[in-house]
Structure 1
Amino acid sequence: MKRSLPAFLAPALCLAGLHATASEPISADAAREVFAQAQSICERDGGKLWGVSLCGPIMLVDPQSRELIANQADAKGELKAHDGVFVGLLPADQNVANTAVEWSGTRWTQMLWPLHAEPETRGTLIAHELFHRIQPQLKLPKLESGENAQLDTLDGRYYLQLEWRALTRALQAGDETARRQAAADAVLFRAERYRLFPTAAVQEQELEQNEGLAEYTGVMAGNATERERLRAALHDLSAHVGDPSFVRSFAYATGPAYGLLLDRYAAGWRRQLASGLRFDSQLRQALDMEAPTDLRRLADQRAQLYGGAALRVSETEREKKRQQAIAANRKKFIDGPVLLLPFQHMKVQFNPSNLQPLGEHGTVYPTMRISDDWGVLEASEGALMKPDWSAVTVVAPAAPAGSDLKGQGWTLQLKPGWRLVPGARKGDLVLEKPAQ
């Protein structure tokens, strides 16, 4: 089951590696440096990419203390002016992540402190998150989101990585013939993946339109020269190869790569996004590619030029371990007693690089934080998200009592009035809304 997610379900993503993990106080001087870099980025862009200024409200948040420093006041006056910036404390019911958030009457670009010390990497992150704040203004088509479970299978991962390798070769090519051939190979490998998984095109497009365009914006607006942009896009293509799962992280790699190629071959491609055209469809048209008569044979033939044989061996070994992980998660979240928490007005943050799809049951998120009308759930050893994002499941607690509940790898802080009641199966529990 898949559907378009309403605004309140938009996930707050926190990519591992984009920021340091150690917490340190945010100084006004350091914050002003970030705000100045953001201002420079939006002034340099001047609305050229999207016809909308990237400038706007920014908050930097310490994830441990929840202290924040902003570049402007909030609409409701929660923040206090101090030394040229605005300071305050983010409430516990608000998630903290690199994302766009609505808080205290203002739409913010939120970034976790500390940011990366290297200016180019930091600039890419800043521009990426600035895009998310303006994204609703762009009137992009509303697409159905999917679990992208195909990208955790042997064939899905195999052809995605071949696509990444072809995109890398295209960006690095020293002559036009080699560049066009490698770009065509990338489209070919994607076409074969879509042949094997007919629903993949629709599912993948939603994340590419969201995170893919954001990372493309990060690369383009966050870096001042073509050389720096190329280096950033190549970094994205290599940085996610080691991700435990590609289902939520693949678009951070494909977005900038396709964007740079489309900038070369399909001027005006960004305007075509409103019509629903995908990255690969636009590149296929720009390269004037004909549909092959035997897609599988041609894809297998071209794969050998990108290390396909060795990649197939390594992915076959990974598939064995994946099946073992699926069996363990099924026992934990499907066969055993569970606690079901239905969503009311959910906000979620998670790491998109390590998810485990469980078919029609949903996707296991190894770590996540959810805030809702009922309180705050923090899971460190897995939680199962329903495929329609209507509820989350954790292992049932041994002693369900009180407002501060604990279970296997999770804690739940309940607000007054909410309680746990028996579920459909023996041992199952369901969170119940207070009587009106």
Structure 2
Amino acid sequence: MKSAMWAGVLSVTLSFAPSGAIAAEATTKTPDESAISPERAIQVFALARTLCERDAGKLWGASLCAPIMLVDPKTRAILASQADADGALKARGAVFVGSLPAKDNAANTATHWSGTHWTQLVWPLPEDEARRSVLIAHELFHRLHPQLRIAAVEGGDNAHLDTFEGRYALQLEWRALATALQADDAQAQRLAIDDALAFRADRYRRFPKAANDETALELNEGLAEYTGVMVGEATPERRLQAALHDLRVHVGDPSFVRSFAYATGPAYGLLLDRRAPGWRERLATPASLYALLSATVNIDEAVGAQTLDQRATRYGGAALRESEQARELARQRVSADNLRRFVDGPVLRVPLQHMNIQFDPRNLQALGEHGTVYPGLRISDDWGTLEVSEGALMKPDWRTLVLVAPSKKTRGSEMSGAGWKLQLKSGWELAAGDRAGDRVLKRVVK
């Protein structure tokens, strides 16, 4: 995002894995697009070392310290904190330099590259030191995550958060969480927590898959952002302000489908730190942040009987409902256009086998049983590299990507269509699909 907004990318490597397998992240952009210098890279590496040494393994029982590679997405230049195992990087003073191959995406993520497990960060990092520290600690968590005793939960699509009911209940929950974090007495805090939990419980009643899908993303991105806040900020007051910042800033996201956990993770984490010390040790068995916080509240029967509308009045529910109803009308028009482009019209189906995908988690557009539309993305797979600037439909099983079919016959290794460009490897071709005008990307049969 610009200034205080989030405008990062997720980068994921999958081999026939569903969306819940994601272990990567969003980042804060800044207007500073200058190239990476060794001096600035060394400053980033020193800050990361300071953060992980200050934590000293206290938060998760293991060190967050890690090899770091900074990547300039424009030039694909790499400046790293150490040598790689396979020798692709060359020493230049106190840093190691090289170039990221075209098949790999530049993103804030944990990644295996050239024989080494890295924390990868996209240049430029936020100019604001607090936001930069939170981002670095967030990404250090992603590299450590597979080593921690945190139960894996499959899922994470969260298409319900692009509906009117899902968005309305989520934003009421965010407002109640912010009130709870700032409450100056135990009774006020408990009331706000009860409201937040009630808004989420209503969402779970309306959408049967919501509990599983939200938990999957919160145990990944939510815990990562909580770690960013806890390790990136040095004092309780600054951590509180960082958590409130996350609750505010994501209100402006075009879609909450993939970004909501960046807001809820720190809020639930800080409240659990206050009310249930030791909660992180209970993540070894499947447990949601919602369930853990619910266990700390003895619900007052009079409060518990209040209707959601009564609770919503405490958080500006009427005005929020009106704005979300207007947004829903606009969403329906977008969905109708997406159905025309990616379902009813002629399409190109692209198989996904060992993909590495990069996208912005803030602007995804749910399309019901058909999947999710990604306005922009970059994918590398066995067949080559694809860049999309005007939308593509990801099927729910993440095994097929659907593009608008090219309007004319294409030959050679470079192909393009409406808002997409494909660099094709040898051994692959476009063939006729099942419907008139449809195409499919497939291996050449010899």
Whether TM-score is above 0.5 comes out as yes
What is the aligned partner in structure 2 of residue 142 from structure 1?
Answer: 152
1:302 aligns to 2:323 (yes or no): no
What is the aligned partner in structure 1 of residue 372 from structure 2?
Answer: 363
What is the aligned partner in structure 2 of residue 38 from structure 1?
Answer: 48
Write the distance in 1 (CA, Å) between the matches of 2:353 and 2:302: 48
Write the distance in 2 (CA, Å) between the matches of 1:320 and 1:209: 32
After TM superposition, where is structure 1 displaced by more than 4 Å over at least 4 residues in a row? 5-14, 290-295
Match of 2:115 among 93, 96, 105: 105
Which has the higher mean CA deviation after the structures are superposed, 141-150 or 316-325?
141-150
Alignment of 1:178-193 (within 5 A): 178-193=188-203
Write the distance in 1 (CA, Å) between the matches of 2:346 and 2:402: 10
Cα displacement (A) at 1:277: 1.2
Residues 155-206 of structure 1: CA deviation (Å, up to 9, x unaligned) = 1000000000001111111222212211121111111111111210011111
Write the distance in 1 (CA, Å) between the matches of 2:270 and 2:253: 23
Write the distance in 2 (CA, Å) between the matches of 1:158 and 1:266: 28
1:120 aligns to 2:130 (yes or no): yes
What is the aligned partner in structure 2 of residue 237 from structure 1?
Answer: 247
Matching residue's letter, 2:125: L
Write the distance in 1 (CA, Å) between the matches of 2:301 and 2:377: 42
Residues 19-47 of structure 1: CA deviation (Å, up to 9, x unaligned) = 22553211111001000000010001111
Match of 1:15 among 15, 22, 26: 26
1:177 aligns to 2:191 (yes or no): no
Matching residue's letter, 2:33: S
Match of 1:407 among 417, 420, 436: 417
1:85 aligns to 2:85 (yes or no): no
Count residues in correspondence.
Answer: 430
Write the distance in 2 (CA, Å) between the matches of 1:348 and 1:21: 25
Structure 2 alignment gaps of length 5 or more: 1-11
Write the distance in 2 (CA, Å) between the matches of 1:255 and 1:76: 36
Write the distance in 2 (CA, Å) between the matches of 1:274 and 1:300: 36
The answer as to whether partners of 2:14 and 2:355 remain within 8 angstroms in 1 is: no
Matching residue's letter, 1:333: F
1:385 aligns to 2:399 (yes or no): no
Matching residue's letter, 2:106: V
Residues 205-259 of structure 1: CA deviation (Å, up to 9, x unaligned) = 1100110000000000111111111111000000100111100000000000000
What is the aligned partner in structure 2 of residue 394 from structure 1?
Answer: 403
The answer as to whether partners of 1:60 and 1:111 remain within 8 angstroms in 2 is: yes
Write the distance in 1 (CA, Å) between the matches of 2:124 and 2:396: 33
Alignment of 1:280-429 (within 5 A): 280-289=290-299, 298-399=307-408, 400-429=410-439
**CA spacing shift, 1:284–1:422, aligned 2, 3 Å:** same
Cα displacement (A) at 1:117: 1.1
**CA spacing shift, 1:248–1:291, aligned 2, 3 Å:** farther
SS of residue matched to 2:251: coil
Percent pairwise identity: 59
Residues 81-118 of structure 1: CA deviation (Å, up to 9, x unaligned) = 11101110010100011111111011110111010111
SS of residue matched to 1:88: strand
Cα displacement (A) at 1:339: 0.5
The answer as to whether partners of 2:111 and 2:119 remain within 8 angstroms in 1 is: yes
The answer as to whether partners of 1:237 and 1:254 remain within 8 angstroms in 2 is: yes
1:214 aligns to 2:219 (yes or no): no
What is the aligned partner in structure 2 of residue 51 from structure 1?
Answer: 61
The answer as to whether partners of 2:229 and 2:243 remain within 8 angstroms in 1 is: yes
Matching residue's letter, 1:152: D
Matching residue's letter, 2:372: T
Write the distance in 2 (CA, Å) between the matches of 1:387 and 1:320: 24
Write the distance in 2 (CA, Å) between the matches of 1:392 and 1:13: 20
Cα displacement (A) at 1:139: 3.4
Write the distance in 2 (CA, Å) between the matches of 1:362 and 1:175: 45
SS of residue matched to 1:381: coil
Write the distance in 1 (CA, Å) between the matches of 2:253 and 2:97: 36
The answer as to whether partners of 1:24 and 1:62 remain within 8 angstroms in 2 is: no
Which has the higher mean CA deviation after the structures are superposed, 139-148 or 70-79?
139-148
Alignment of 1:200-211 (within 5 A): 200-211=210-221
Q: CA RMSD in A?
A: 1.7
The answer as to whether partners of 1:109 and 1:130 remain within 8 angstroms in 2 is: yes
Write the distance in 2 (CA, Å) between the matches of 1:139 and 1:284: 22
